[in-house]
Structure 1
Amino acid sequence: MQFNLTSKITSAERFNPEARPTSPDQWTLGLAFSAAVWLSQKLNKPILKITNADYEEAGLKVLTDIYGSAYDLNIRLFNHLQHTITGWPGGKPNADDTHRPERATPFPKRVIVFSPHPDDDVISMGGTLNRLVRQGHEVHVAYETSGNIAVNDEEVTRFMHFINGFNQLFGNNNAMGAVIPAKYQEIKKFLKEKKAGEMDNRDVLTIKGLIRRGEARLASSFNNIPLSRVHFLDLPFYESGRVEKLPMTQADVDIVAKLIEEVKPHQIFVAADLADPHGTHRKCTEAVLAALAQAKERGESWLADCRVWMYRGAWAEWPIEDIEMCVPISPEELLQKRNAILKHSSQMESAPYLGNDSRLFWQRAEDRNRATARLYDALGLASYEAMEAFREYHI
């Protein structure tokens, strides 16, 4: 079975000053918005301060002809941007939601945050995740893969030292008293003799997966998410033991679909960071979108009241033309987000697969969120410490 639903995740129209539309009919509102953002950045002016003369000098007089004046166009685009900003990512109860990204009702909502690896939730949308919890929603986090290959061997050695020491202190009178030392020596020998590039055996992969599960539970508890709402899906496609993964199959989709059917969410957050160099994010997203598409084919009634929001994380950010919901993060919330990311200690300096970016994941996340806030500020919107951006996916 072929899954290529991520091909539906298309970008908004982008203005290219080197390939401008030749006819007024080609100037859609989306393209006009992109052109105004480009001009605002080029002139270092907020959108509301761009004049008729500015548009004319930039060769964009056609826009003021179409929309009446610079003021008329600017205020329309400014209001569009303003309406993407919300401090209530799950919807604000008892409020007029006409111009809000999310519905006021139902409240509280059942929410599933799908996280491809056991840290993408806090890296990509940790501020929004924490706010959803604090605002009273029933938040579930689903870790789609074990993330076991992204753990350094030294982490395994450290945890095995602890387990063996713990057993020596407290476990010699139970049935595991003999098992743990033997397994400890076996794994220690394997790691010592392991050659560069050699695939881990199943025991080592299992321990690495347990390490990442523990970190994910710790970060979830830090965000006050009950462990009963923390789900480890361990999708089969990931369990190749290598960077190159297995093909995604219906078995992966069925695991995702089972959780969705159990929760019947009003909101789903899913990764759209398709720039992930190893392709795991893409396959995880395909599994979620395929499960939703199949639910739609079956005519599931709950689906009509479910919205899907796509986030990006450590590898890329949404261009502003694509953003449909942007959640402000205060300095205190940004520190809370950093501390949640730091709970994933195996993913710090010694973690494999950090990529060519020398920054750690918490640094990438903060830089990205602050850059989004600076962009909104430069365009003339409110000035925030940081912002997390989302785009809606239409099932």
Structure 2
Amino acid sequence: MRLDLSSKITLERVPKKYYKPDNDFEEYNLARYEKLPVAIYEEPKRAAKKIANEISRELKQSQKEGKQFVLGISGGTSTAPVYEELVKLHKEEGLSFKNVVIFNTYEFYPVMDFSYSNLQMLKESFLNKIDVDPENIYSPDATVEKDLISENCEKFENNLQEKGGLDYLILGLGTKGNVGFNMPGSSLHSQTRLVMLDGDSRSDISRNFGSLDKVPVSAITMGLSDMLAAKKISLVAWGEQKSESIRDIVEGPVTDLIPGSVLQTHAEAVIYVDLAAASELTRISRPWLVTNCEWDSKLIRRAIVWLCQVVDKPILKLTNKDYNDNGLSELITLYGSAYNVNIKIFNDLQHTITGWPGGKPDADDTYRPERANPYPKRVIIFSPHPDDDVISMGGTFQRLVNQGHEVHVAYQTSGNIAVGDEEVIRYTSVLRSMLKKFDPDNTKMLQKYDEIRKFLLKDKKKDDMDTADILFIKGRIRREEARSADRYVGLSEENVHFLDLPFYETGTVKKNPISEKDVNIVKDFIETIKPHQIYVAGDLADPHGTHKVCLDAILAAIDILKDEDWYKDCRIWMYRGAWMEWEIDHIEMAVPLSPEELRQKRNSILQHQSQMEGAPFLGDDERLFWQRSEDRNRATADLYWKLGLASYEAIEAFVEYIPIQDN
């Protein structure tokens, strides 16, 4: 069972020659804009294995020389695959860490509960699984008194200097191009110090603390000068959410606005990325600027959309000169003239637009994104949380129902941790009042409501977990909001399904890994419907991680089912949520919405009242979910218009998923 198929999705179907060239000559050409060595891999695991093997060689050499090996490590999800590989080398090949000295590059401050500290997370994922001497682990003190912070930082610095500095440093990458918590504006000469965390940084790490209000306001971080003194540095970054930062670090100037860019000044720094994180590098996103291209329809479309933005013209106004002046003369050679390319790409984009997402019955579907037949279709809309369906594709959802298809919605998780305590207090107060009126002798239930209210209003401390009863109520609040939204859309009650995948039900923000049990629940459900269409959340840059796990469960199930006879007539469409939209060169189906349809979509989102102003995971974006969704849909429509296509109020966009074939 393949459980990480989402990491293998490469939307551009990037030819290997762009990231694994045949020779040094090609490598130099491709990397001409890159000011740092970049190693690009199809998936994080392969890169992590390469780094772990390199550390193993360095470590063993130190052992032969009778020296200590000083290793700097960082927390976060990016570095986790490297630690997994190092643990595997320890357990399976006997790699010893007894001569290793560990320096934790940052620590949150203050941390009242040590289980939330960065060091504790590193111990759980790495340090407790190897034979490193606990006396050789150095970390900033997260509990030191405020007036001793400076002394604590100085002690950490002295320990680092006494050990001779770092032999090897593993770094992750923050969303603002920060390394450790050296945020924009950090001096190249900065040393270990206390830094205040901005809203984005606190939002990034809120998943570890349960909610934003529990995240410390500051951190103690190793400075840039200490990091740059390391003999070797590996920076790792995975996923498209890191792609812009990687581009800025690798191809931009050295600037304190992008702290990671200072790695350009280090002789032994290497950047390790997967294809998604590399997607904004010139060699991947605009290969025509550095090499001869393997042109296909998607790459041509991407090039033309880019050209339109560079010269600020719609497609049909592009000239031969525009192509020749911007590195796209190859296309003129291939097609004979700008006019020929323009018409091809204009028609290509025009054919993505359809008001019939389930296919228009009895129509010529030669140039439509979906088949006319069969009609009506059996459709499954998978929704990771109980509101992603209407937030992400509410207009398409409405059209599928209105156009007579048999639509099923499957909510993969309960979403219970994203309900505020005040919602539970409100609902239990209403239920208590109803009980006193209609069943006043039911003292057991009255006592239960009073017990829940007392816990939430008086007894619950900042870091307390919700009780099972409270989690049940929060889950049911979200479940009934989903039913309400589905009724508004016109969906039959029997077509609403709640899968409650086990990985999610931990009661905390930290979830369990995906398991075969999760996959089998999804697989069994799909088999009961045998759909002609499946819609899935393709948020590969999902900030909270749940969307990726839910996507992996679906893709693993499809991987098992893809050889079934019924599946041969099934298509999978990926949508995106409130966070970002598909780039226009990837879009394969664009469903336009009228002003009235956009208003109906907003109303369906508003049925999820617990997810309005008080939702725990809104983040620092002050827009509510319906506002983010509308802004995104209007921006997509606006881009189509700027390229010279029809002007719509809004557009929802989809990309088809093609199952990965067996080797």
Q: Which moved more, 1:218-227 or 1:24-33?
A: 24-33
**Which residue number corresponds to residue 125 of structure 1?**
393
Q: Percent identity?
A: 61
Helix, strand or coil at the partner of 1:262: helix
**Which residue number corresponds to residue 276 of structure 1?**
542
Give yes or no for the alignment of 1:351 onto 2:615: yes
> 1:307, CA displacement in angstroms?
0.5
**Partner residue of 2:318 out of 35, 50, 61:** 50
Contact 1:156/1:207 (<8 A) preserved? yes
**Which residue number corresponds to residue 451 of structure 2?**
186
Contact 2:288/2:328 (<8 A) preserved? no
**Which residue number corresponds to residue 11 of structure 1?**
11
CA distance in structure 2 between the aligned counterparts of 1:249 and 1:308, rounded to whole angstroms: 22
Q: Which moved more, 1:135-144 or 1:190-199?
A: 190-199
For residue 354 of structure 1, what is the amino acid of its counterpart? L
Helix, strand or coil at the partner of 1:172: coil
* Aligned counterparts, 1:190-229, within 5 A: 190-191=455-456, 192-229=458-495
Give yes or no for the alignment of 1:311 onto 2:579: no
CA distance in structure 1 between the aligned counterparts of 2:558 and 2:332, rounded to whole angstroms: 42
Residue by residue, what CA displacement relative to the aligned partner does 1:343-362 show, whole Å, maximum 9, x if unpaired?
00000000001123221100
Specify which structure has the bigger relative contact order, considering alpha-carbon pairs within 8 angstroms and separated by 6 or more residues.
1
Contact 2:287/2:293 (<8 A) preserved? no
Contact 1:101/1:324 (<8 A) preserved? yes
> 1:23, CA displacement in angstroms?
4.7
> 1:105, CA displacement in angstroms?
0.4
Helix, strand or coil at the partner of 1:30: helix
Give yes or no for the alignment of 1:254 onto 2:551: no
> 1:198, CA displacement in angstroms?
1.8
Give yes or no for the alignment of 1:267 onto 2:533: yes
**Which residue number corresponds to residue 602 of structure 2?**
338
**Which residue number corresponds to residue 368 of structure 1?**
632
Contact 2:298/2:586 (<8 A) preserved? no
Helix, strand or coil at the partner of 1:108: coil
Distance 1:261 1:380, change over 3 A: same
Helix, strand or coil at the partner of 1:321: coil
Contact 2:289/2:327 (<8 A) preserved? no
Contact 1:268/1:309 (<8 A) preserved? yes
TM-score normalised to structure 2 length: 0.57
**Partner residue of 1:86 out of 343, 349, 354:** 354
**Partner residue of 2:404 out of 136, 139, 151:** 136
Residue by residue, what CA displacement relative to the aligned partner does 1:70-98 show, whole Å, maximum 9, x if unpaired?
00001001111011000000000000001
Q: What stretches of structure 1 of length at least 5 have no aligned partner? A: none
Helix, strand or coil at the partner of 1:136: coil
**Which residue number corresponds to residue 154 of structure 2?**
none
**Which residue number corresponds to residue 294 of structure 1?**
560
Residue by residue, what CA displacement relative to the aligned partner does 1:271-323 show, whole Å, maximum 9, x if unpaired?
00122222100010111111111112xx4211111100000011111001110
Residue by residue, what CA displacement relative to the aligned partner does 1:324-381 show, whole Å, maximum 9, x if unpaired?
0000000000000000000000000000011232211000000000000000000011
> 1:58, CA displacement in angstroms?
2.2
CA distance in structure 2 between the aligned counterparts of 1:305 and 1:361, rounded to whole angstroms: 34
**Which residue number corresponds to residue 234 of structure 1?**
500
* Aligned counterparts, 1:14-93, within 5 A: 16=282, 20-93=288-361
> 1:25, CA displacement in angstroms?
4.8
TM-score normalised to structure 1 length: 0.96
**Partner residue of 1:109 out of 377, 380, 384:** 377
CA-based RMSD: 1.5
CA distance in structure 1 between the aligned counterparts of 2:353 and 2:296, rounded to whole angstroms: 23
Q: Which moved more, 1:333-342 or 1:299-308?
A: 299-308
CA distance in structure 2 between the aligned counterparts of 1:285 and 1:60, rounded to whole angstroms: 36
Contact 2:305/2:643 (<8 A) preserved? yes
**Which residue number corresponds to residue 420 of structure 2?**
152
Q: What stretches of structure 2 of length at least 5 have no aligned partner? A: 15-278
CA distance in structure 1 between the aligned counterparts of 2:338 and 2:387, rounded to whole angstroms: 45
Q: Which moved more, 1:10-19 or 1:31-40?
A: 10-19
Contact 1:244/1:278 (<8 A) preserved? no
Contact 2:537/2:574 (<8 A) preserved? yes
Contact 1:257/1:288 (<8 A) preserved? yes
CA distance in structure 2 between the aligned counterparts of 1:171 and 1:226, rounded to whole angstroms: 31
> 1:57, CA displacement in angstroms?
2.3
Contact 1:24/1:66 (<8 A) preserved? no
Give yes or no for the alignment of 1:390 onto 2:654: yes
> 1:54, CA displacement in angstroms?
1.5
Distance 1:193 1:96, change over 3 A: same
Distance 1:277 1:24, change over 3 A: closer
CA distance in structure 1 between the aligned counterparts of 2:586 and 2:424, rounded to whole angstroms: 41
Helix, strand or coil at the partner of 2:585: helix
Distance 1:218 1:195, change over 3 A: same
For residue 445 of structure 2, what is the amino acid of its counterpart? I
Distance 1:186 1:9, change over 3 A: same
Helix, strand or coil at the partner of 1:322: coil
**Partner residue of 1:325 out of 558, 579, 589:** 589
CA distance in structure 1 between the aligned counterparts of 2:566 and 2:398, rounded to whole angstroms: 25
CA distance in structure 1 between the aligned counterparts of 2:523 and 2:286, rounded to whole angstroms: 45
- Count of residues in correspondence between the two structures: 390
CA distance in structure 2 between the aligned counterparts of 1:18 and 1:213, rounded to whole angstroms: 44
> 1:196, CA displacement in angstroms?
1.0
Helix, strand or coil at the partner of 1:91: coil
Distance 1:71 1:10, change over 3 A: same
Contact 1:21/1:27 (<8 A) preserved? no
Helix, strand or coil at the partner of 2:288: coil
Choose between structure 1 and 2: higher helix proportion: 1
